[in-house]
Amino acid sequence: MGFIEDQKWRYATKKFDASKKVSNKDLGELQEAIQLAATSYGLQLFKVLVVENKNKRDLLKPASWGQAQITDASHLLVFCNYTEVKEEHLNHYAGLKAKASNIPVESLSGYMEFIQSALSARTPEQIDNWTAKQTYIGLANLMSAAAELKIDTCPMEGFDAAKYDEILGLSEKGLAAAVVCPIGYRSEEDDSQNAPKVRKSVEDLFEVV
């Protein structure tokens, strides 16, 4: 099974080869993999910044505990969640769904009212936490697609989210940095690639009830 072999190949890359760049074609495939990720109600309440600008990445490195992946990787992807769900988000989704299904947008009013009612029962903190979780589904799709293309990744929570928000101007856009993932190609000097995978056994991880 190719998928399983891809997962055995991938690891959290600690040292990237800064001389190697992901092609536009491969980057486009990775973006599409994220775009196709499942999300609650299909709302896609996140945005992914593809940070290529060297100056921005130099600023983000100290906010990432000095980790070299931020500047050495081919690209840096910053997954950002919308911190609140606005009417414009719901209207945009309704418009997309109506167009894709070739139906009048008015016919979705009942469904959209259901979503609005479900979301209004949550506190602002719960909404923020919920939308942040959605980014991890997109991250998982990215990592799996990258492994198939033999592109290395390193999912990272080790960064100062408030500093990221400030440097990238996220707060004024209603966004917050949730998780980041440098992508590129492993350096031959990265000893981590030779380390054995440490995972629980299938018996320990699963329980049939």
* pLDDT tens per residue, range 153-179: 999 999 999 999 999 999 999 999 999
* pLDDT tens per residue, range 123-140: 999 999 999 999 999 999
Three-class secondary structure assignment of 85-129 = CCHHHHHHHHHHHHHHHCCCHHHHHHHHHHHHHHHHCCCHHHHHH
* pLDDT tens per residue, range 49-73: 999 999 999 999 999 999 999 999 9
pTM: 0.95
Residues 143, 125: Cα–Cα separation, whole Å? 28
Q: What is the rounded average pLDDT for all residues in the chain?
A: 97
* pLDDT tens per residue, range 18-54: 999 999 999 999 999 999 999 999 999 999 999 999 9
pLDDT at res. 88:
96
Check: CATH 3.40.109.10 for 2-205?
yes
Residues 181, 114: Cα–Cα separation, whole Å? 34
